[in-house]
Chain A
Amino acid sequence: MTLSDPVMFLSLLVFLPALAALVIAFLPRDNTEAIKFTALGVTIFTFILTLGLFRSSADGVDFQAGVARMQDLFAVSWIPSFGIQYFMGLDGISFPLVVLTAFLSVLAMGASWPIKKHVKAYCILFLLLETGMLGVFMALDFFLFYVFWEVMLLPMYFLIGVWGGPRREYAAIKFFLYTLVGSVLMLIAILMLYFHSDLTRLNPAQLADAGIVPIDVVGDEAPSESEIQAAYDEWLASDDALAAQLTAAAESDAKTPVHTFNILALQQMGQHTDLFDGEMWMGQTIQWWAFLLLFIGFVIKVPSVPLHTWLPDAHVEAPTPISMILAGVLLKMGGYGIIRICYPICPQAGYDLAYFVCAIGVISMVWGAFAALAQNDFKRMVAYSSVSHMGYVVLGLGVWSMGTWANGSYNADYWKMGVNGAMFQMIAHGISSAGMFFMVGVVYDRVHHRNLNEFGGLFAKMPVYSGLAVGIFFAGLGLPGLCGFIGEVLVVLAVWKYSYVLAIISAAVVILTAAYILWAIQRVYLGAEYKGPHGEALTPITMRELAIASPLMALAVILGVYPNALFRYMQPSVDHQVEQLAAWTEQYDANQAEVQQAFRGEARQVVLTDALSD
């Protein structure tokens, strides 16, 4: 067991912050500098570990660009009686988010320097939070995912509730209850799916795709059937607990199902079997309900209108670094859940509810933009801009834009564009919104107010800061050459193929976005005089602040000018998933057409028996 083993490497990556939190617990309470530096060192080391994945090595742990499948996959049996595994891995969808999380954690820890109260507890909770966030993005076992989800929730509650502003308790409880409702809905859906899952229904190839049958593959080449069969036989013969279970289930006559929490296996079941197609309640299928519950759970996190009101309060009350994490990482978990769990596991529900999902996205975009325009609190305005920007993510993930090529085959290119755009937007928003919150924090630390109407003239007093701030706000505005533009334009261009009405509404948001951001810039940075209190405290940006702001600005420019820097890691996996869903849709549409034809031919009975025996 060395670091070149994925189990060790990824576990270290996830649990290092938690271990460090444990170590900090034993440090003396008064030595705040040492505690802060330890915490910062740990976040930096964690970030370096994620960077280590970029290095390509023959035998070690790495993340290869241009590969669609899960990489560095490992599974360790955890609670065998429920088929729960310690199962993690990375692909193009999760890897960028993991890097973003580690990166923003470093910056947020750097931004935590002005924290004076209970530094020790703060650092412990912060590091626990990082473990939770990293774990959510890497976990591939539903149970593990849920555990990490909750682990992340609790430190956040305390970080807002203890270190927040004047209404911190209200905000923290609101955040907690909202998220808890989401968690409960998610838990119900997880159990629903668990009890309807059955590993015996998957064939060897699907088991291999689900990461259950270990198989050596190089690059993105699909293994041949014989290779899969050989690997499968070898696996069945091994002393793997799951293999034994499957063998037992196959041998017994009772057809006992083998349940699983394996997300990849659930995806295979959702797409290739009818396990989740049974009717559940009110004429809807299991997967329809599971999708809805999961979607609501995730969309609370995104957050989308009308489940978004926790966000402005949480942001306004949270301390600056926590706002950065909240906007930069936590909101992404919602989007990540939708793309990783909702769609691949419940494709039919996604297909049926696509318009609903897109409409939620568009409403959030418009709603958030209008609400941002009305705010007088700087941070609240930025918070609402997050609601608006994350609407693009939901919209992009939701577009089920299937076109057909001239020869009648399915054309998923626009769909790929939408989903890739949404994923890009998640990363871009992680950068720009974290930057915006930090920029607000910088002035708040100096003048202790956030009233937009009591600023002005900051350009003269803090020129470097103002330049960077305006740059980052423009990234949020979606200016070409900066990261915000790519995601927005890809999503908006892709939507027309699905629904031109939604496309037109979403395109109109660019006007509102420009309005609220430019107006805020005018009120804060431009003008002749500072209008608020503590004008003397407006000192130029410090080196520490510069060190936090400039990487964000640099990343915003790099991703805006050369988006392939991100797409080369992300796109293969996203494309692969969309292709699978497209294949599923093609199959589904063909079946539907067949069924309809059969109905027309008054061969109802035949079809039903066919369908039952299928």
Chain B
Amino acid sequence: MDSSWLPTLLALAWLTPLASFVFILFFGKHAGPHGRFAGTVATGAIVFSCVLSFVAMFGAWLPNNELPEAHHGDHAAGGDHDEHAEDGEHADEADHETFIRPAASPFLLASSGGDRGTISLVADTAEGEGDSAEHHIAPNGKPPAVYGVFYNLVTFGKLKLDISYYIDALTVTMFCVVTLIASCVHFYAIGYMHDELHEPYTDHEVTLTDGTHLVRKGRFYRFFQYLSLFCFSMLGIVIAGNLAMAFVFWELVGICSYFLIGFYIERHSASTAANKAFIVNRVGDFGMLIGMMALWSSLGTFAFGDTQNDQGEVTEPGMFSVLRTEENHYALAPTESMEVEGARVVGEGEEGESSHAGQWLLLIAGVGVFCGCVGKSAQFPLHVWLPDAMEGPTPVSALVHSATMVAAGVYLTGRVYPIFTPEALLVIAVIGCITLFVAATIAITALDIKRVLAYSTVSQLGYMMLALGIGGWSAGIFHLITHACFKGLLFMCSGSVIHAVHTNDMSYMGGLRKKMPITAYTMLVGCLAIIGAGIPTSMYGLSGYYSKDAIIEQAWSFAGANRGNPLLSILLIAPVIGAAITAFYMFRLWYMTFAGEPRDHHRYDHAHESPRVMTMPLVVLAVCAIAIGWSVPGTNLSITSLLEQAQPVGTTPGAEGVLAENLVVPAEQLSHVKAVKIPAGWAAFSAAAFGVLLATIIYLWRMLNPAEIRDSFKPLYAFLWNKWYFDELYDLIFVKPTHWISGLIAKFDRGIIDGIIHGTAATAKAAASIVSNVGDRTLVDGTVNAFANRTWDFGLMLRRLQTGSLRTYVLAIAMGTWITYMLVSFIMVARGTG
């Protein structure tokens, strides 16, 4: 298939869930008994999308875009994208000619003064890997991509808002991953939501005022309706060809998440959690809007790709092309319009000194857009909504709140990666680092099985953000993909457990591996994958092994490159400690649930393995969790090579700070050298091993009593148990003041503004009565009487007018106004012209 098929295929894959949503919206309730077929329709739709995505990948993408051979963005000629390959080669040639480029260019060897570590690393690249002919890293050109417009929303002169598509290797990969996991979740949900087919359905979580449990109709179809809408929205983000469109679908996944978290609308906790999720996300969107405004007003475009005319000339360059021009060797440089726009915001520089206004504006834009990602990906400080989101049914937690939607923030950060300045990247890294640590610590004490997984999700998302922030683009995105598989798996396993024992609380579980072996051992696979189990420094391991080690390696490389700033080495220490904590709480979870003796015999006796429709998806995802990091035997097709193909323009050589001068973001390629790989690999391995060992000692061998440990660290335990008091803090500094201000404003309206109005009215009334009284007293009786007679007559006449008919009144008032006006205008005319 030609690659011109890609937009059609993916658009079809994107729109099929929408069709399913519309169908279920109108006919779902009547589709089969209790809407049973709604599940079939939705599942069929997403499976169809999945098939289309894989067809797009293997039929249209791979045949036309040869995968890179080595760690280099050098694309072989072929397909429709010859010009891109040429771009890359051209850049390479240029690099050969000018080995040392100006300081602005992100070039490690020449620039990081006195940093011997880096130099030796590069030397190692040549010796150790032996696959790189060059001693330096040339910036990559534009990755092969297909960009186009579905339809135009609105155009203002040169400003265009479109519904468009931007399809590169990342898009196609994400389509496959999202639809695959969504298909598994759909199948699983058919089993999990089976209760909702019962008529009537009793919700044991809701107690009515008369003491009974709520009895209501089943809502099976509605669940699938939301799932379909969600899939459509999520794929919309992935296919989006511009930032505005991404924002549109961004909000839509937010609303789907709102509906799904609040699926049990009768539960107050669920609807509150749904509100919290949406509002907290909106806080992030507020930042995102600011970033979008900064970009929009300075670049005038949101497009990711370039619009080309029939001759293949670029007519309207996209954001990335404008910011990273070929003339500038794809290095990030603010445009002239950005300098002007930035100067308006941050002010002009001193005489003869650059204010870096453009850089500042780019920083604002980058951090702004990242704010949206902070909200959606539940990063510190907006991470508080995600654990509460576990109020939703478990398939939702698996799909929306771990595998796909929350990863959308990471995806978008990766998508707009070329616009991030090194300083913005540092912000991303720091946020990610804080998040991964905070969330991991909270997960240690949680007892709700889904909450442990939720905090683990937050923590893993932190890893991804950290990776992106320290220059590990493929490491971060790779982890996003592997995490989607194993976290989806873990959640669905936990759902299977909850389905069996009807509680989320792990203190009622234990020993379940005998009752539900498939769930237990697929979950063990998930646990091993998340801790990154593998043979250190070898090529063998579960999916998490590759991605997590890649992140730690990049962190190692980053710490090495920024040796001048010891504070930044926290960005290495935290993820390593985090890896240990991850291993600890994951195995704590597994041991508490499946190992040992049952703690609650009643629940244990009633537990049973879930039906096949639920366990089959577990097995599929377990296979993915093991193998998704591997390359297809005999080829170089793997997620990593696909990601390498999608490497954002100009980002391979890393970058150097302009505003923060000592900041170095090392090239990702440098983290693959032995001098980094070996120590980082061992560090990651030993951290994880330590965590597992500790969990085993405490929860399996019971050599230490958890209760005793808890007592000896009481304040710390309370701190973690209360989730670092974030909810209380936010309530105190945001929620309460907002309500206070709104109350004040409402009072101001009623008291002050209306008070003034009423005061004015009263004054006018008083003045009128004074005038009339004074007038009464001073007027001579005779005149009054004479007037009175006339008035009497007039009154008699008026009485006839007082008909009580509204019609007459309206007429009279209209005429009166008109006559008044005429009088006034006559007077004015007389004065004006006379």
Closest to A503 in B: B293
Q: Which residues, 269 to 318 on B, are CB-close (under 8 Å) to A? A: 271-272, 274-275, 278-279, 282-283, 285-286, 289-290, 292-294, 296-297, 300
Interface string of A465-498 (1 = CB under 8 A from B): 0000000001000011100011001101101110
Tell whether A449 is near chain B: CB-to-CB under 8 Å: no
B159 touches A374 (CB 8 A): no
Give the shortest distance, in Å, between B288 (CB) and chain A (any CB): 9
- Asked if B786 is at the interface (CB within 8 A of a chain A CB), the reply is no
In the bound assembly, the distance between CA atoms of A522 and B249 in angstroms comes to: 23
For the complex formed, measure the closest distance between the CB of A56 and the CB atoms of chain B, giving whole angstroms: 22
Give Cα A174 to B757, complex, Å.
9
Interface positions, chain B 796-834, Cβ under 8 Å from A, are 806-807, 810, 813-814, 817-818, 821, 824-825, 828-829, 832
Q: In the complex, which of the residues B267, B286, B297 contacts A507, with contact meaning CB atoms closer than 8 Å?
A: B286
With a cutoff of 8 Å between Cβ atoms, the chain B residues found around residue A457 in the complex are 266
Which residues of the partner chain B approach A168 to less than 8 Å between Cβ atoms?
none
Residues of A within 8 A of B757 (CB): 174, 309
6 contacts between A and B (CB under 8 A): A125-B806, A480-B249, A486-B153, A507-B286, A511-B283, A515-B279
Q: Which of B248, B279, B282, B749 contacts A481 (CB 8 A)?
A: B248
On whether the beta carbons of B157 and A480 are closer than 8 Å, the reply is no
- Asked if B567 is at the interface of the complex by the 8 Å CB criterion, the answer is no
Residue B104 interfacial (CB < 8 Å): no
- Report yes or no: B282 in contact with A511, Cβ–Cβ below 8 A: yes
Which residues in B have their C-beta under 8 angstroms from that of A1? none
Residue of B nearest to A366 (CB): B745
Is A375 in contact with chain B by the CB < 8 A criterion? yes
Is B806 in contact with A518, judged by CB distance below 8 angstroms? no
- List residues 408-456 of chain A with CB under 8 A from any CB of chain B: 411-414, 416-417, 420
Q: Which of A312, A527, A567 contacts B268 (CB 8 A)?
A: A527
Q: A403: which B residues are within 8 A, CB to CB?
A: 297
The distance in angstroms between the C-alpha atoms of A146 and B817, with both chains bound, is 11
The answer on a CB contact under 8 Å between A147 and B278 is no
Cβ proximity bits B248-277 to A, threshold 8 Å, 1 near / 0 not:
110110010010001001111001101100
How close is A538's CB to chain B, nearest CB, in angstroms? 15
Task: Say whether, besides A420-B154, A526-B266, A507 and B293 are in contact (CB < 8 Å).
Answer: yes
A124 near B807: Cβ-Cβ < 8 Å = yes
On whether the beta carbons of B265 and A527 are closer than 8 Å, the reply is yes
Contact assessment for B294 and A496 in the assembled complex, using a CB-CB cutoff below 8 Å: yes
User: Which B residues, 722 to 769, have Cβ-Cβ distances below 8 Å to chain A?
Assistant: 738-739, 741-743, 745-746, 749-750, 753-754, 757, 761
Return the 8 tightest CB-CB contacts between A and B, nearest first.
A413-B157, A496-B293, A374-B746, A528-B266, A480-B248, A373-B742, A374-B742, A507-B289
A510, B266: Cβ atoms closer than 8 Å: no
Query: For B158, B274, B742, which residue has the most chain A Cβ atoms within 10 angstroms?
Result: B742
Bound: A528/B292 CA distance, A: 40
Min CB distance B216 to A, Å, is 6
A568-587: which residues lie under 8 A (CB-CB) from chain B? Answer: 571, 575
Q: How far is the CA of A500 from the CA of B814 in the complex (A)?
A: 46
Additional 6 contacts, C-beta under 8 A, given A371-B746, A492-B289: A151-B814, A309-B750, A480-B247, A485-B251, A500-B293, A511-B283
Inter-chain CA distance A567–B462, complex, in Å, is: 43
In contact, A510 and B285 (Cβ under 8 angstroms): yes
In the bound assembly, the distance between CA atoms of A555 and B178 in angstroms comes to: 32
Q: With the chains together, A25 CA to B251 CA distance in Å?
A: 52
Known contacts A154-B814, A515-B738: A371-B157 contact under CB 8 Å: no
Task: Determine the distance from Cα of A411 to Cα of B299 in the docked complex, in whole angstroms.
Answer: 13
CB of B794 closer than 8 Å to a CB of A: no
**Known contacts A479-B255, A480-B251, A374 near B154 by CB under 8 Å:** no
User: Between A and B, how many residue pairs show CB distances below 8 Å?
Assistant: 172
Tell me which residues across on chain B come within 8 A of A599, comparing CB atoms.
Answer: none
CB distance from B289 to the nearest CB of A (A): 4
Complex interface: chain A residues within 8 A of B197 (CB):
none
Which residue on chain A has the smallest CB distance to residue B832?
A195
For A118, the closest partner residue in chain B by CB is B806
Q: In the complex, what residue of chain A is closest to B344 when comparing beta carbons?
A: A500
The one of A375, A481, A503, A527 that contacts B252, using a Cβ cutoff of 8 Å: A481
Residue among A403, A480, A504 with the most chain B CB within 10 A?
A480
Contact of A522 among B271, B296, B749 (CB under 8 A): B271
Judged by a CB distance under 8 angstroms, whether A5 is at the interface is no
Contact B753 A564 (CB under 8 A): no
Asked if A514 is an interface residue, CB under 8 A from chain B, the answer is yes
B262 touches A526 (CB 8 A): yes
Question: Within 8 Å of chain A (Cβ to Cβ): is B535?
Answer: no
Whether, in the assembled complex, B156 has its beta carbon less than 8 Å from a beta carbon of chain A, the answer is: yes
Q: Number of contacting residues on A, CB 8 A?
A: 78
Please tell me if A53 contacts chain B, counting CB pairs below 8 Å: no
Of the candidates B244, B252, B266, the one whose C-beta lies within 8 Å of that of A460 is B266
Tell me how far the C-beta of A528 lies from the nearest C-beta in chain B, rounded to whole angstroms.
4
**How far in angstroms is the closest Cβ of chain A from B785?**
34
A487 to B359, CA, bound (A): 30
A420–chain B nearest beta-carbon distance, Å? 7
Distance of A393 from chain B, by nearest CB (Å)? 17
Find out whether the CB atom of A460 lies under 8 angstroms from the CB atom of B216: yes
CB-CB under 8 A from B810, the residues of chain A are 125, 128, 154-155, 158
Residues of chain B with a CB closer than 8 A to A309's CB:
749-750, 753-754, 757
Q: Residues of A contacting B742 with CB < 8 Å? A: 370-374
Q: Does B538 have its Cβ within 8 Å of any Cβ on chain A?
A: no
CB distance from B202 to the nearest CB of A (A): 12
Complex alpha-carbon distance, A457 and B215, angstroms: 13
Closest to A531 in B: B209
Interface digits, B366-400 against A, CB 8 Å rule (1 contact, 0 not)?
00000000000000000000000000000000000
Q: In the bound complex, do residue B739 and residue A500 qualify as a contact, i.e. CB atoms below 8 Å apart?
A: no
- Out of B214, B216, B296, B761, name the residue touching A493 (CB < 8 Å): B296
With A158-B810, A371-B746, A413-B156: A529-B209 Cβ-Cβ less than 8 Å: yes
A480 to B156, CA, bound (A): 19
Q: Is A545 an interface residue (CB 8 A)?
A: no
One of A150, A372, A406, A492 near B337 (C-beta < 8 A): A406
Q: Is B152 an interface residue (CB 8 A)?
A: yes
> Known: A406-B336, A417-B156, A496-B293. Contact between A479 and B251, CB under 8 A?
yes
Q: A508 in the interface, Cβ–Cβ < 8 Å?
A: yes
Q: With an 8 A cutoff between CB atoms, is B94 at the interface?
A: no
A519 and B275 within 8 A (CB): yes
When distances are taken between beta carbons in the complex, the residues of chain B under 8 Å from A497 are 297
The answer to whether A373 touches B738, judged by C-beta atoms less than 8 angstroms apart, is yes
Q: Is the CB of B279 within 8 A of A416?
A: no
Nearest CB on A from B545, distance (A): 39
Closest to B820 in A: A187
Report the minimum CB–CB distance from B492 to chain A (whole Å).
27
* Docked-complex contact B278 and A371, CB < 8 angstroms: no
Q: Is there a chain A Cβ closer than 8 Å to B709's Cβ?
A: no
A150 to B742, CA, bound (A): 35
Residues of B within 8 A of A177 (CB): 761
Q: Which residues of A contact B289 (CB under 8 A)?
A: 492-493, 507, 510
CA distance A306 to B274 in the complex (A): 34
Do A154 and B828 contact each other (CB < 8 Å), given the known contacts A420-B156, A511-B282?
no
**Is B159's CB under 8 angstroms from A413's CB?**
yes
**How far apart are B652's CB and chain A's nearest CB, in angstroms?**
30
Cβ of A82 < 8 Å from any Cβ of B?
yes
Q: Which residue of B lies closest to A497 (CB)?
A: B297
Interface residues of A in 501-542 (CB under 8 A from B): 503-504, 507-508, 510-512, 514-515, 518-519, 522, 525-529
CB contact list, B397-447 vs A, under 8 A: none
Q: Is there a chain B Cβ closer than 8 Å to A280's Cβ?
A: no
Which residue from chain B places its CB closest to the CB of A480 in the assembled complex? B248
Chain B residues contacting A481 (CB-CB under 8 Å) are: 248, 252
Would you call A378 an interface residue if the criterion is a C-beta within 8 Å of the partner chain's C-beta atoms? no
A22: nearest chain-B partner, CB-CB: B807
A353-391 vs B, CB cutoff 8 Å, 1 = contact: the mask equals 000000000000001001111110000000000000000
The reply to whether B159 and A480 contact each other, CB–CB distance below 8 Å, is no
Of all chain B residues, the one with the shortest Cβ separation from A372 is: B742
Q: In the complex, which residues of chain A have a beta carbon less than 8 angstroms from the beta carbon of B294? A: 496
